[in-house]
């Protein structure tokens, strides 16, 4: 399927990543559940993009950003844009992540059963986080 592509995140993705990160559902499934301030987000993004290998990516479908993922060592973190959830995008993205980057580990809260199933079906190692 060539309707999708993975590209490195850029500075001009700051607003999009900020909105996705501060979405209530995303925060509830994140380790840090706090709303992130804009200045803190921009500082984090600048630091991340300044790394030799930022490993922060945007997943696009039909040339529109619909999700993001970040790789830290053997761990992958991911989020789908709120308006694109429940459409199979996470499965598509994680299958591609597995194909390109190998078997990674996803830390997922025990009550996020859908994400657990999707990550496992993509061949990721899933570490369950107790709520």
What's the pLDDT score for residue 69? 97
Domain of 28, CATH number, reads 3.40.630.30
Tell me the pLDDT tens digit for each residue of 38-92.
Answer: 999 999 999 999 999 999 999 999 999 999 999 999 999 999 999 999 999 999 9
Residue 1 has pLDDT above 60, yes or no: no
Q: Is 0.85 topped by the overall pTM?
A: yes
Tell me the pLDDT tens digit for each residue of 26-36.
Answer: 998 888 889 99
Instruction: State both tokens at 29.
Output: 């499934």
Q: Which domain holds residue 86?
A: 4-129
Number of domains observed in the structure of the chain: 1
């Amino acid at each position: 399927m060539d309707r999708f592509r993975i590209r490195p995140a850029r500075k001009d993705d700051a607003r999009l990543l900020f909105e996705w990160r501060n979405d209530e559902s995303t925060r509830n499934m994140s380790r840090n559940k706090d709303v992130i301030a804009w200045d803190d987000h921009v500082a984090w993004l600048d630091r991340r993009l300044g790394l030799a290998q930022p490993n922060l990516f945007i997943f696009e479908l039909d040339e529109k950003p619909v999700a993001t993922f970040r790789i830290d060592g053997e761990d992958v973190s991911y989020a789908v844009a709120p308006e694109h959830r429940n459409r199979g995008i996470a499965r598509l993205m994680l299958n591609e992540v597995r194909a390109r980057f190998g078997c990674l580990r996803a830390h997922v809260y025990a009550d996020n059963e859908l994400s657990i199933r999707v990550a496992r079906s993509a061949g990721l190692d899933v570490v369950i986080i107790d709520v």
